[in-house]
Structure 1
Amino acid sequence: MTAAAAHLSARPARPRHLAGTGALLRLALRRDRVMIPAWVLALGVAVASMGSSFEALYDTAAKRVELAGSMNANGSMRALYGPVFSDSVGGLIAWRMAGFGAVLAAVMSLLIVVRHTREEEETGRQELLSAAMVGRRAPLTAALLAALLANAVLAVLIAAGLAKSGRPAAGSLALGLAIGCTGMLFAGLAAIAAQLTESARMAKGLTGAVLGLAFALRAAGDAATADATSPLTWISPIGWSENLRPYAGERWWVLLPFAAATALTVGAAYALTARRDIGMSFLPARPGPAAAPRSLSGPFGLAWRLQRTTLLGWTLGFLCAGGIFGGIAKGAADLVGDNRQTREIFERMGGQQGLTDAFLATMLGMLGMIAAIYAAGAVLRLRGEEIGERAEPVLAGAVGRIRWAAGHLSVAFAGTAVILASGGLALGLSYGVSVGDVGGHLGPVLAAALAQVPAVWTLTGLAVLVFGVLPKATTAVWAAVGGCLAIGWIGPSLKFPQWVMDLSPYGHLPKLPGAEATAAPFLWLLGLTAVFTAVGLAGFRRRDIG
């Protein structure tokens, strides 16, 4: 052996931080073989097929010019959808889907990353894998690569679909990149959250809170300016996606902030993961008291202890959102002239009882649809406790299955009413102050917010049904929630058939405040909720744990 060879053989081998990345990536794609294609196809096809809907609704250039002018002249509509930068069909597609698509891509990405990082550690699977030839950074790398692949395919599908339907190739590519890049940025943020928090639920909640803040900043900025130049809009990554301006003189340089922010977040995630042990976090749980309080003596107290932080966060978020929406509701009636098309859009979304009431009804409906995300997560916490092997020790004692499940379900059902009441209260107060009539508007707006509860409870009952009967198909719950959100968000403006609108429980609710309401739809939804819940609990009582 030569001296050089001997020297090299004596040197310690460098740690293979990325060893096993390929195998973990294949495993992640195998586990997400349903979720990722469902997200990508649903969102990609929705964006790519929207051009035909706009061509049917606004078949002349004059109609499109009138629509763009009306939307840009109204701060409330800009807060909801953003400004219109071009009155072409492609420009209307970008106006309608740049922000909405970016939000959905962000949700998809955070679910992928958290599932294959913090959730793997929380369940103990990552420790088992790390005992083999798996590098320290391999799990995070595999999760980010899975998110990158999903967002890349989504961007290509959007760009190719729009280009094939006759839209300009540059604008189609810009819109695809705007949505895909937003998804990757939030994948990086989710990776950071997975290092900071001790549970997958907290990581998702923290990233979701950042996403909600980004949407609120974008809404406030667009409400203030008609050309998306507000500093609030530029602070938000969702604002970057619309400022890329597909089909309106694309600003390709806006991709630079996306690239820089993504690189920064991913680099921070790698730095953090190198400085902690598997299963640990930078924000660990505080040690509890030596003796448990009496409130933890039963399953209801335990469920409240586990879910109270999440409920508090959602409540504060709805308070902020309600305050913002109530403050801009006054501008709903400040339209340029007597524009028939704008009035029709308002009426399809919020009813025919007047523009301001229609806007309030639209905002409350959106809060109701978002509340279903909280409700589904609260119910599926049962599944998390089950697969995390924390439910079995509880059920081994004197606590029955139904009683244990009832503790979490009480938080899910009651918490839904609490967060909707908080959003309605803030919206009613903010709007009442802006028009100088708090007493006359607070009660109706609060009642309208609570009127969303039966629809949310129907989806909550559906989550119970899936948990009890098909526990391994919990992805279907998120698909149902996302489908209802998509129907309610884009269905009215694109005149979806009534049978499609009726697939969502929200489509059966009266447009409050202002519209006439009868008890029938509420009773039907509550009855359906009871059936779903009863069947789900019966199935849970009979199936095996785990």
Structure 2
Amino acid sequence: MTTATVSRPAPASTHRSSAVTGTGTLLRFMLRRDRIRFPAWTLGLTLLMTYFATALNTMVQSPEDLEGLSAFSGSPAGALFGGPGFGFDEVTVERFLAGQYGLYVMIGAALMGLLTVVRHTRAEERSGRAELVRANVVGRYAQLTAALTLAATMALLVALLLGATLTSRGYDSGGSLLFGAAVGAVTLAFAGIAAVTVQLSEYPRAASGMAGAALGAAFVLRGLGDMAAVQGSGPSWLSWLSPIGWSQQTAPYVHDRWWPLAISLAFATAATAIGFGLSARRDFGAGLLPPRPGSPRAAAWLAGPFALAFRLHRASLIGWTASLLVAGLAYGSFTQPMLDGFENAPEDMVALMGGAGNLLDGFLGIMGLTMALAVGVYAVLAVQTLRAEEAEGRTEPVLATSVSRRAWLGSHVAVAALGVPWLLFVAGLGMGIGAAVSTGDVGLLGDLLLGHLAHTPAVWLVLAAAALLYAAAPRALPVIWVVLGYGLIAGYFAPVLDIPEGVLRLSPFEHVGDYPLEQISVVAVVVLTVLAGGLVQAAVTVFRRRDLAGGA
């Protein structure tokens, strides 16, 4: 007699795994990974605002100095690069600080938010770590939830630190806390934007680029709206289309309006909800925007390490070219308004521009330095691409072929080095066209092209130093940002801060000269170029001796 056994379905489990299961554990992992980035971002933004406050107190020695600064900042050109200038008719130090310099802290906070979300979501999927994590008991939305929670925590901490720091300087506590909250609101808004862009592309750089483009659009909309508001005519409502504009409309120390932050919170909430919704509509590791299929056959000219390096850097070069051309045209078109705004500026500001008799040359020289620092950022990011290629395992297959380490590293550095004069040329071209139209002096085009290109050796030196850091100790690569930061401080505030000449010369941007204000030093051009070549040679030598990913 046989007995048939009938299998019955197991009873449904009374406990269903939540879509956010494991969020707390992932958040702790993210905090562990960002044990350096977290304090660097939060304390860095606080120190930046502290520096602005200290520099302003140094520059302003009398009420007349402050009124001179506000006269320029209250002009359309000042509104473009600062804000709507609330309270500048009865200006105080804290009103000027929040209204003119707060913009740059907000931009830094926006970058903090979007880069944090991309780093802990799309970059994790791309590297393969997220797949290992999700093989455990982890909900579908846990990764994004933890990343957004981390960004919100950073926003809250920055808001508190800024509020406490400004209050400790004797500023109104209500306005200080409002300013900190406004900066934190910008972080939340762009973290929400990044939550959407990481669903669109499968590549971290593309996701960061789309979020960065949104930041650029927010800056432009706010600038156009604020200029129209200062002029008293035009589309001033454009400022209300920008997350940066919402925070600036709080007007700390003037109107102390908290309600615009509700727009920021609503926008961040909506963007986050869209991000979660989109994440449920895509496959893990994929993006909603499919990558464009390449050609089935490679062109003959691609058979080499230099061509491969060019292909990897091509998108970045195109983006930087367009951005610097537009930036040059925008800055150049405000040359004459800038000069008009400096008529009543304090002596320290006039000294920064080369003196009352050289305002035009001084402004053009400063803009050349500004564009050189921007191209320096491109150079550092180009070297960071090498570290990403190595960390993600794409370098080793290339070196497994007949491509030598010297050829691989040298090709990447060569492509970036060729990109430096090209980008400086484009920036100078845009600046020259804008300045020529603004002032009616066509001769400025040639001066600006020469002045911008003269900074090429200084940027090459930054590029070479970054390459050497990557070759010797990839973890130390972020140290190169100190060089660019010091170059900015030395170039912009040396007359105000009385930096000694010997210390000032530590910046590679202080040797060639800010043409047309200063003559170009041919000796400095040669020396900087030779030093850059020597550092590149050292980088190649060191890179040949270390293990791949061994120091990463």
Contact in 2 for aligned 1:421/1:449 (Cα 8 Å) = yes
Alignment correspondent of 2:59: 57
- In structure 1, give the amino acid aligned to 2:407: R
Amino acid at match of 2:220: A
Distance 1:493 1:93, change over 3 A: farther
| Counterpart position of 2:206 | 202
The reply to whether residue 240 of structure 1 matches residue 243 of structure 2 is no
Partner of 2:520, secondary structure, is coil
Aligned-residue Cα RMSD (Å) equals 2.6
Paired with 1:523 and 1:387, the residues of 2 have a C-alpha distance of 35
Give the Cα separation in 1 of the matches to 2:388 and 2:265.
34
Match of 1:85 in 2: 86
Deviation (angstroms), 1:11: 6.2
Question: CA–CA distance in 1 between the matches of 2:525 and 2:406?
Answer: 26
Q: CA deviation at 1:403?
A: 0.5
Deviations 1:480-501, CA, capped at 9 Å, x for gaps: 4455456656x35853634665
Contact 1:350–1:360 (CA under 8 A) maintained in structure 2: no
Question: Would you say the 8 A contact 2:83–2:99 is kept in 1?
Answer: yes
Cα distance, 1:112 vs. partner?
1.5
Letter in 1 for 2:253: Y
Does the 8 Å contact 1:370/1:485 carry over to 2?
no
Quote the offset at 1:514 in angstroms: 3.5
Q: Which residue of 2 aligns with 1:128?
A: 132
Q: Is 2:418 aligned against 1:417? A: no
- Within 5 A, what are the aligned runs for 1:91-490? 91-226=95-230, 230-335=236-341, 338-341=343-346, 344-348=348-352, 354-438=358-442, 440-478=443-481, 480-482=483-485, 484-485=487-488, 488=491
Q: Deviations over 1:502-523 (max 9, x none)?
A: 4543344422234322223333
Q: Distance in 2 between matches of 1:516 and 1:11?
A: 79
Distance change >3 Å, CA 344–CA 220, structure 1 → 2: farther
Q: 1:56 to 1:377 in 2, by over 3 A?
A: closer
1:369–1:232 Cα change, 3 Å: farther
Q: Which runs of 5+ in 1 are unaligned?
A: 1-6
Aligned position for 2:22: 20
Q: Which residue of 1 aligns with 2:535?
A: 532
Report the AA paired with residue 82 of structure 2: Y
1-side partners of 2:355 and 2:408: how far apart? 42
Q: Is the 8 A contact 1:223 1:328 kept in 2?
A: no
- Number of aligned residue pairs: 535
8 Å CA contact retained: 1:198, 1:279: yes
Residue 410 to residue 297, structure 1, CA distance change in 2 (3 Å)? same
Question: What is aligned with 1:3?
Answer: none
User: How far did residue 315 of structure 1 move?
Assistant: 0.7
Other structure's SS at 1:290 match: coil
In structure 2, the residue matched to 1:523 is: 526
Aligned residue in 1 for 2:6:
none
Letter in 1 for 2:36: V
Q: Is the 8 A contact 1:357 1:514 kept in 2?
A: yes
Q: Is 55-64 or 479-488 further displaced after alignment?
A: 479-488
Which whole-Å CA distance do the structure 2 matches of 1:351 and 1:271 have between them?
A: 57
Distance 1:188 1:61, change over 3 A: same
Per-residue CA deviation, residues 121-159 of structure 1 (Å, 9 max, x unaligned), is: 111111111111121111111111121112211111111
Q: 1-side partners of 2:116 and 2:146: how far apart?
A: 10
- Displacement of 1:471: 1.1
Contact 1:188 / 1:265 at 8 angstroms: preserved in 2? yes
Deviation for aligned residue 1:386? 0.6
Which residue of 2 is the match for residue 4 of structure 1? none
- Name the structure 2 match of 1:69: 71
Task: Please say if residues 318 and 423 of structure 1, whose CA atoms lie closer than 8 Å, have aligned partners that are also in contact.
Answer: yes
Per-residue deviation, 1:345: 1.4
Distance in 2 separating the partners of 1:281 and 1:486: 41
| Whole-Å separation in 1 of the counterparts to 2:353 and 2:185 | 30
With normalisation by structure 2, the TM-score equals: 0.90
CA distance in 1, matches of 2:410, 2:518: 35
Taking a change above 3 Å as real, the CA distance of residues 179 and 458 of structure 1, as seen in their structure-2 partners, is farther
Are 2:354 and 2:517, in contact at CA under 8 Å, matched by a contact in 1?
Answer: no
In our comparison, the structure showing a higher alpha carbon Rg is: 2
Residues 234, 240 of structure 1: 8 Å contact kept: yes
What is the identity, as a one-letter code, of the residue corresponding to 1:391?
A: T
Q: Distance in 1 between matches of 2:340 and 2:106?
A: 29
CA offset digits 1:76-111 (Å, max 9, x no partner): 333233343342121122134211101111222222
Q: In 1, Cα distance between the equivalents of 2:480 and 2:25?
A: 29
Change (3 A) 1:53 1:290: closer
Whole-Å Cα distance in 2 between the matches of residues 286 and 340 of structure 1?
53
> In 2, Cα distance between the equivalents of 1:297 and 1:271?
43
> Measured at CA, do residues 320 and 268 of structure 1 come closer, stay the same or move farther in structure 2, by a change above 3 Å?
same
Q: Unmatched 5+ residue regions in structure 2?
A: 1-8
Give the secondary structure class of the aligned counterpart of 1:398: coil
Kindly indicate whether the alpha-carbon contact (under 8 Å) linking 1:351 and 1:361 is maintained by their aligned counterparts in 2. Answer: no
Secondary structure, aligned partner of 1:285: coil
Amino acid at match of 1:125: R
